[in-house]
C-alpha cells in the first residue's frame, strides 16, 4: 500500500518536472512555427535588412532593420549611462562599506529591481520626457535618449550585483597585500581592482544588454514608437514595443500577424547570441 | 599631485554614483506617493471605472481584483511546477548531467523576455486553445514567467536542509514521501511561501504578458476563469498613454506600489517568523 | 546467539575499497565495540549493516545475515526498523520533543493518542530524559543541550522497537558527564537490545563493551571479548594501537 503511494508520488513529480521543462520547448517551437509561415512569404534576409515597416500598406512592407537597430541602440544608451553609476556603486559596496551598510545599499538596489516596468515608464513619461520637452523645447520629448535614461535605471541592479560579487572577491584577496606595500585604497582600486574586474564588468554589460533588449513597457512608453531610423533625440521603435502595440490590431493569421511573431523570433535569436557570449565570457573567468 | 587629483576624481565619482542610486529610488517613491495620495479614496478603490472616456472617473476596483486573481492563478500554476521540479532535482534525480541540463533550461526560461511569453500565451492559449483573452490565459502566461524565480529559490531551500536530519529520518525506516511531507516541508515552509509571495509581486507588476493574454481596457469583475479582466499595470498604461486622466493614473500607480509594498512586508514578516521558529 | 553474521564483507565507494574481507558475528543482547583509527572503515561498516551504503554512493559484496536470513531478503523499511542507527552529531528534528518521538510511530500507523503518549513516556524514561525535561514535552527539541539531544535521538531510534542499535561515535561531541550518562544508559539498554558502538575512545570501549573488534585499514585485525583484546591482544598491531592511544 505504502509502496504504491511512493511510486505514484514519484511518477507525479517526474511528470510535472518533465512538463515544466518542456514549456521552454513549447515556447520556442510555437514562435518558430508561426514565424516560418511568415518566412515563406518574405525571406529572412529581406526581413532584417529592409527598412520599411508599413503593415497597413499599400504597399505592405514588413522589414524591421530600423526596429532592430532601435532595440540595440536604446540598450546601448542605457548601458552607457548605467555602467559608470553601477560600477561606482559596486566599488563602494565591495570596498568601502561594512556589513550593515552593505545590506542597506543592496536592499535599495533590490528595491530598484522590484519596481514594475510600467511604473518606470510612467514616471519616465511624466518626468524625463516632460523635462526634454520643457527644457530643450523639442517637439516631443519621446526619444531614444529618454528610453535610454529610463532603461538605465532598470539595468542598474544587474550591473551592480554582477560587479559587486566579483569585486568583493578580488578585494578580499588583494587588499591586505596591497596595503602592506603602503599603497592607498583608492590607488589599489583604480590600478588593481578595476583592471582585474574587467571580465565581470564585461559580463555585466552583456547581461544588461540582454535584459535591456527584452524590456517592453518602460521603453514603449517613452520612445515614441516610430519605425524610423533611430536618432538619439529622435523617436524610435523596439521589437518588444512593436509586438505589444500592434499585436492587438493585427488580424489573426494575416501576414502582419506572422510578421510580428517573426520579429519576436528575431529578438530571441539576438538574445541567444548575446547569452552565448555571456556563457563564453563567464567560462573564461576563473571564478 | 597627479595621484591626488586622480584620487579626488575617483572618490567623487563613486560617491556620486551611490548617492544617485539613493536619490533615484527615493524620488520615484516620493513622486508617486505625493502625487497619487490625493486620488486614493473609498470610491477609487472600490468602484468601477466610469465616465467618458472610460476611466476618467470612478475607480479601479475591477483592475485591483483582476490583478490579484491573475497573481493567484500564476502563483498556483508556477508553484506546483516549480516545487515539483525542485523536489525532483534534490531528492530523486541522480544524474549530474540531467541536473545540469534542467538547470540550463530553467536559466534559459528566466531569460525569455516577458513579451515573448505574452506572444506565446497569445498564440497558444488565447487563439489555438481558444481560451480567449481571459484570466486563465493571463494566469498561465504569468505563471510561466515566474516559474524559474520560484524554482530556483525552492531548490536552494531544499538543498540547505541539514543532510544529517534527513538521513536520521531514513534511518528510522521512514519513507521518502513521509520524510518530505512530515519533516522537510514543515522545515522549509516559510522560505517556500516567501518565495511564492515575492514571485507574486513580480507577476502582479508585469504588463507585457497580460496585454496580449488577459487584459482589456474595460471589464467588470470577472465571473469565470475564462473572462477577460482589467489589470493594474495595463490600466495605468492606458490611462497615461491615451491621456485619459493623469489624476487617476497617479492613483493607479500608487495602488500598485502599495500592493507591492504589502507583498514585500508579508515576505519580511515570514522571514522573521522563520527566525523566531528556529 | 548470533543475531548478525557477517561473512566476507567487502565494501567500496566507487573504485576505493574501504572494507576488506571482513567476517564477524555479533552476539545478541551484548555490547560490541568497534575500534580503530580514523578512516579505517568503522562508520562504513555500520551504514552497510542497515543498507544505507547505497544511498551514500557505495556498494558491497559478501553476506550479511540478520537472524539467519540475508539482509537483502528483508524489506528495507523493515530492516531499518530492526537495525536502528544513531549518528555522531545529534540530529533532533526541528519540532517538539513529543513530535520527535511520535514521528516514526505515526508513520507505522499508530494513531491512538493514549498509545502514543505511552510510547513517548516510556522512551523518555528509558533514555533518562523523563525527569530532566520537567514534563515539558512541547519544548522545541533543538533547545535541549547536546547530551540531551543525543539521548533524544537514541530514544527516537528506540521508538520503532529495533532489535539492534548501531551507534556511530555517539559521545564524541559530548562532555564527560553526558558521556557517562549515555554509557550508563547503553549498559541498561543492552538487557533488551543488541548494541554495536563505534568509538575512538578506548576507555569507553573497555568500560561498557562485552566484545571488541579492532579494524585497521578496512580489515578486521582482532575480535574477541573485551577483556582479551585489551589485556591479551593476539596481534601486534592491536597491541600497538591500544598502547598508542590508551597506554
Between the CA atoms of A108, A111, A117 and A120, what dihedral angle is there, to the nearest 10 degrees? -40
CA distance A216 to chain B (A): 6
pLDDT band of A250, cuts 50, 70, 90: confident
The complex's ipTM works out to 0.89
pLDDT band of A58, cuts 50, 70, 90: low
Within a domain: C201? yes
pLDDT band of A40, cuts 50, 70, 90: confident
Contacts of B106 in chain A (CB under 8 A): 21
- A24 touching B, CB under 8 A? yes
**Tens digits of per-residue pLDDT, C157-180?**
999 889 999 999 988 888 888 888
| pLDDT at residue B58 in the model | 78
CA distance A148 to chain B (A): 15
**Substitution target from A11, A23, A81 for chain B, most B beta carbons within 10 A:** A23
In CATH terms, the fold of domain A61-284 is MetI-like fold (1.10.3720)
> Helix/strand/coil (H, E, C) string of chain A?
CHHHHHHHHHHHHHHHHHHHHHHHHHHHHHHHHHHHHHHHHCCHHHHHHCCCEECCCCCCEECCHHHHHHHHHHHHHHHHHHHHHHHHHHHHHHHHCCHHHHHHHHHHHHHHHHCCHHHHHHHHHHHHHHHHHHHCCCCCCCCHHHHHHHHHHHHHHHHHHHHHHHHHHHHHHHHHHHHHCCCCHHHHHHHHHHHHCHHHHHHHHHHHHHHHHHCCHHHHHHCECCCCCCCCCCCECCHHHHHHHHCCCCCCCCHHHHHHHHHHHHHHHHHHHHHHHHHHHHHHCCC
CA angle C35, C41, C46 (to 5 degrees): 80
Mean pLDDT within A41-59:
77
Within a domain: C145? no
CA A255 to chain centre: 28
Q: φ and ψ at C28, to 5 degrees? A: -65, 145
Inspect the interface and report whether the beta carbons of B172 and C160 lie closer than 8 Å.
yes
Mutual angle of helices A144-180 and A198-214, in 10-degree steps:
160
Give the chain A residue whose CA is nearest to the CA of B126: A252
**Substitution target from C104, C109, C167 for chain B, most B beta carbons within 10 A:** C104
| pLDDT at residue C217 in the model | 86
Whether residue C154 has pLDDT greater than 80: yes
| pLDDT at residue A72 in the model | 93
Q: Give residue C50's region: left, alpha or beta (phi > 0; psi -120 to 50).
A: alpha
| Interstrand relation of A61-62 and B49-50 (parallel, antiparallel or unpaired) | unpaired
| pLDDT at residue C118 in the model | 92
| pLDDT at residue A201 in the model | 92
- B273 touching C, CB under 8 A? no
Contacts of B172 in chain C (CB under 8 A): 80-81, 84, 103-104, 107, 156-157, 159-160
Domain of residue C15: give its range: 2-94+165-246
Inspect the interface and report whether the beta carbons of C84 and B171 lie closer than 8 Å.
yes
The rounded distance, in Å, linking the Cα atoms of C120 and C80 is 20
Mean pLDDT within A147-160:
94
**Tens digits of per-residue pLDDT, A166-220?**
999 988 888 877 877 777 888 888 888 888 888 889 989 998 999 999 999 999 9
- C153 touching B, CB under 8 A? yes
In CATH terms, the fold of domain B45-277 is MetI-like fold (1.10.3720)
Mean pLDDT within A117-132:
91
CA B4 to chain centre: 47
Inspect the interface and report whether the beta carbons of B82 and A20 lie closer than 8 Å.
yes
- A45 touching B, CB under 8 A? no
Contacts of B81 in chain A (CB under 8 A): 16-17, 19-20
Contacts of B22 in chain A (CB under 8 A): 108
Query: Cell 556620486 sits at which residue?
Result: B16
Mean pLDDT within C140-148:
88
Counting beta carbons within 10 angstroms of the beta carbon of residue C112, is it exposed (0 to 12), middle (13 to 18) or buried (19 or more)? Answer: exposed
CA distance A86 to chain B (A): 7
| pLDDT at residue A285 in the model | 62
**Substitution target from A25, A243, A257, A283 for chain B, most B beta carbons within 10 A:** A243
The rounded distance, in Å, linking the Cα atoms of C178 and C188 is 15
Inspect the interface and report whether the beta carbons of B278 and C157 lie closer than 8 Å.
no
Which one-letter DSSP state was computed for residue B273? H
Q: How many CB pairs under 8 A join B and C?
A: 64
**Mean pLDDT across chain A:** 87
User: For B175, which of C77, C159, C160 is closest by C-beta distance?
Assistant: C77
| pLDDT at residue A57 in the model | 63
Inspect the interface and report whether the beta carbons of B16 and A88 lie closer than 8 Å.
yes
**Tens digits of per-residue pLDDT, B54-103?**
777 778 888 899 999 999 999 999 999 999 999 999 999 989 999 999 99
Contacts of A5 in chain B (CB under 8 A): 177
Length of chain B: 278
Higher pLDDT, A55 or C204: C204
| pLDDT at residue B137 in the model | 92
Give the chain B residue whose CA is nearest to the CA of A243: B115
Burial readout A239-273 (b: 16 or more C-beta within 10 A, e: otherwise)? bbbbbbbbbeebeeeebbbbbbbbbbbbbbebbee
Contacts of A268 in chain B (CB under 8 A): 112, 116
List all residues 6 or more positions away from B88 whose beta carbon is below 8 Å from its beta carbon.
Answer: A13, A14, A16, A17
Higher pLDDT, A157 or B126: A157
Mutual angle of helices A2-41 and A255-284, in 10-degree steps:
120
pLDDT band of C247, cuts 50, 70, 90: very low
CA distance A35 to chain B (A): 11
| pLDDT at residue C28 in the model | 92
Within a domain: C59? yes
Percent of chain C at pLDDT exceeding 90: 32
Inspect the interface and report whether the beta carbons of B168 and C104 lie closer than 8 Å.
no
Inspect the interface and report whether the beta carbons of C77 and B186 lie closer than 8 Å.
no
Inspect the interface and report whether the beta carbons of B120 and A30 lie closer than 8 Å.
yes
Give the chain A residue whose CA is nearest to the CA of B175: A6
pLDDT band of A88, cuts 50, 70, 90: very high
**Mean pLDDT across chain B:** 89
List subunits contacting chain C, requiring 3 or more Cβ pairs under 8 Å. Answer: B
- A210 touching B, CB under 8 A? yes
Give the chain B residue whose CA is nearest to the CA of A257: B123
CA distance C197 to chain B (A): 16
Nearest of A226, A196, A159 to residue A286 by alpha carbon: A196
- C160 touching B, CB under 8 A? yes
| pLDDT at residue B192 in the model | 94
Full-model pTM: 0.84
CATH (domain of C62): 3.40.50.300
User: For C50, which of B171, B186, B277 is closest by C-beta distance?
Assistant: B171
- C98 touching B, CB under 8 A? no
Inspect the interface and report whether the beta carbons of A24 and B108 lie closer than 8 Å.
yes
Which of A101-105, B145-149, C111-115, C131-135 has the largest mean confidence?
A: B145-149
List subunits contacting chain A, requiring 3 or more Cβ pairs under 8 Å. Answer: B
Within a domain: C30? yes
Whether residue B277 has pLDDT greater than 70: no
Q: How far is CA B253 from CA A113, A217, A245, in A?
A: 17, 14, 21
CA angle B55, B228, A19 (to 5 degrees): 140
> Helix/strand/coil (H, E, C) string of B254-269?
HHHHHHHHHHHHHHHH
Instruction: Provide the domain count of chain C.
Output: 1
Within a domain: C142? no
Domain residue spans of chain B: 2-37, 45-277
User: For C107, which of B168, B178, B277 is closest by C-beta distance?
Assistant: B178
Whether residue B278 has pLDDT greater than 70: no
Inspect the interface and report whether the beta carbons of B84 and A117 lie closer than 8 Å.
no
Mean pLDDT within C185-208:
91
Whether residue A43 has pLDDT greater than 90: no
Amino acid at each position: 500500500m505504502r509502496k504504491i503511494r511512493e511510486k505514484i508520488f514519484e511518477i507525479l513529480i517526474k511528470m510535472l518536472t518533465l512538463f515544466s521543462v518542456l514549456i521552454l520547448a513549447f515556447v520556442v517551437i510555437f514562435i518558430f512555427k508561426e514565424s516560418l509561415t511568415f518566412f515563406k512569404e518574405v525571406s529572412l534576409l529581406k526581413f532584417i535588412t529592409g527598412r520599411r515597416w508599413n503593415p497597413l500598406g499599400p504597399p505592405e512592407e514588413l522589414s524591421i532593420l530600423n526596429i532592430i537597430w532601435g532595440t540595440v541602440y536604446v540598450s546601448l544608451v542605457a548601458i552607457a549611462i548605467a555602467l559608470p553609476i553601477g560600477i561606482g556603486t559596486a566599488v563602494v559596496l565591495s570596498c568601502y562599506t561594512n556589513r550593515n551598510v552593505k545590506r542597506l545599499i543592496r536592499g535599495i538596489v533590490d528595491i530598484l529591481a522590484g519596481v514594475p516596468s510600467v511604473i518606470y515608464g510612467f514616471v519616465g513619461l511624466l518626468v524625463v520626457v516632460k523635462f526634454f520637452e520643457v527644457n530643450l523645447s523639442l517637439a516631443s520629448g519621446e526619444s531614444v535618449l529618454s528610453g535610454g535614461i529610463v532603461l538605465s535605471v532598470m539595468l542598474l541592479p544587474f550591473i551592480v550585483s554582477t560587479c559587486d560579487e566579483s569585486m568583493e572577491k578580488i578585494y578580499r584577496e588583494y587588499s591586505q597585500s596591497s596595503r602592506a606595500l603602503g599603497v592607498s585604497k583608492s590607488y589599489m582600486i583604480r590600478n588593481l581592482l578595476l583592471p582585474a574586474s574587467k571580465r565581470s564588468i564585461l559580463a555585466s554589460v552583456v547581461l544588461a544588454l540582454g535584459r535591456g533588449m527584452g524590456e517592453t513597457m518602460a521603453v514603449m512608453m517613452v520612445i515614441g514608437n516610430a519605425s524610423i531610423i533611430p536618432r538619439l533625440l529622435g523617436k524610435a521603435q523596439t521589437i518588444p514595443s512593436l509586438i505589444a502595440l500592434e499585436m492587438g490590431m493585427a488580424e489573426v493569421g494575416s501576414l502582419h500577424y506572422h510578421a510580428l511573431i517573426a520579429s519576436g523570433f528575431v529578438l530571441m535569436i539576438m538574445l541567444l547570441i548575446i547569452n552565448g557570449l555571456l556563457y563564453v565570457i563567464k567560462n573564461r573567468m576563473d571564478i | 599631485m597627479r595621484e591626488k587629483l586622480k584620487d579626488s576624481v575617483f572618490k567623487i565619482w563613486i560617491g556620486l554614483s551611490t548617492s544617485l542610486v539613493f536619490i533615484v529610488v527615493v524620488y520615484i517613491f516620493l513622486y508617486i506617493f505625493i502625487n497619487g495620495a490625493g486620488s486614493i479614496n473609498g470610491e477609487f478603490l472600490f468602484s468601477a471605472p466610469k465616465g467618458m472616456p472610460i476611466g476618467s472617473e470612478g475607480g479601479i476596483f475591477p483592475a485591483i481584483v483582476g490583478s490579484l486573481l491573475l497573481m493567484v492563478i500564476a502563483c498556483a500554476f508556477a508553484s506546483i511546477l516549480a516545487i515539483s521540479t525542485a523536489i525532483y532535482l534534490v531528492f530523486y534525480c541522480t544524474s549530474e548531467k540531467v541536473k545540469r541540463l534542467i538547470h540550463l533550461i530553467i536559466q534559459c526560461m528566466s531569460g525569455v523576455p516577458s513579451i515573448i511569453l505574452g506572444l506565446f500565451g497569445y498564440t497558444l492559449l488565447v487563439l489555438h486553445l481558444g481560451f480567449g483573452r481571459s484570466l486563465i490565459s493571463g494566469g498561465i502566461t504569468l505563471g510561466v514567467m515566474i516559474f524559474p524565480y520560484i524554482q530556483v529559490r525552492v531548490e536552494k531551500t531544499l538543498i540547505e536542509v541539514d543532510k544529517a536530519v534527513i538521513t536520521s529520518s531514513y534511518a528510522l525506516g521512514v519513507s521518502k514521501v513521509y520524510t518530505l511531507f512530515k519533516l522537510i516541508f514543515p522545515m522549509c515552509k516559510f522560505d517556500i511561501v516567501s518565495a511564492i509571495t515575492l514571485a507574486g509581486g513580480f507577476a502582479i507588476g508585469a504588463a507585457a504578458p497580460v496585454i496580449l493574454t488577459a487584459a482589456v481596457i474595460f471589464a467588470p469583475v470577472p465571473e469565470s476563469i475564462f473572462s477577460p479582466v482589467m489589470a493594474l499595470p495595463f490600466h495605468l498604461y492606458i490611462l497615461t498613454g491615451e491621456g485619459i486622466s493623469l489624476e487617476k493614473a497617479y492613483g493607479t500607480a500608487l495602488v500598485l506600489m502599495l500592493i507591492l509594498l504589502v507583498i514585500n512586508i508579508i515576505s519580511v514578516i515570514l522571514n522573521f517568523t522563520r527566525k523566531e521558529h528556529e | 546467539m548470533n543475531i548478525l553474521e557477517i561473512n566476507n564483507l567487502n565494501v567500496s565507494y566507487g573504485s576505493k575499497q574501504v572494507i576488506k574481507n571482513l567476517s564477524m558475528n555479533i552476539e545478541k543482547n551484548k555490547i560490541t565495540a568497534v575500534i580503530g583509527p580514523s578512516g579505517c572503515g568503522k562508520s562504513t561498516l555500520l551504514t552497510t549493516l542497515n543498507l544505507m551504503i547505497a544511498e551514500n554512493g557505495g556498494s558491497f559484496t559478501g553476506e550479511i545475515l540478520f537472524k539467519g536470513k540475508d539482509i537483502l531478503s528483508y524489506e528495507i523499511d523493515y530492516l531499518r526498523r530492526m537495525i536502528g542507527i544513531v549518528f555522531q552529531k545529534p540530529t533532533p528534528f526541528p519540532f517538539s520533543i513529543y513530535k520527535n518521538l511520535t514521528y516514526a510511530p505515526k508513520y507505522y500507523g499508530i494513531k491512538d493518542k493514549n498509545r502514543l503518549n505511552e510510547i513517548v513516556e516510556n522512551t523518555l524514561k528509558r533514555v533518562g530524559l523523563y525527569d530532566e525535561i520537567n514534563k515539558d514535552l512541547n519544548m522545541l527539541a533543538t533547545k535541549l543541550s547536546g547530551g540531551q539531544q543525543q539521548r533524544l535521538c537514541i530514544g527516537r531510534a528506540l521508538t520503532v522497537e529495533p532489535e539492534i542499535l548501531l551507534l556511530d561515535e555517539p559521545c564524541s561531541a559530548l562532555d564527560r558527564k553526558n558521556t557517562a550518562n549515555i554509557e550508563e544508559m547503553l549498559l541498561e539498554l543492552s538487557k533488551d537490545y543488541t548494541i554495536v558502538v563505534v568509538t575512538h575512545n578506548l576507555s569507553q570501549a573497555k568500560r561498557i563493551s562485552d566484545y571488541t573488534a579492532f579494524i585497521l585499514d578496512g580489515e578486521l585485525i582482532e575480535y574477541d571479548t573485551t577483556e582479551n583484546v585489551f589485556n591479551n591482544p593476539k596481534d601486534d598491531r592491536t597491541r600497538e594501537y591500544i598502547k598508542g592511544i590508551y597506554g
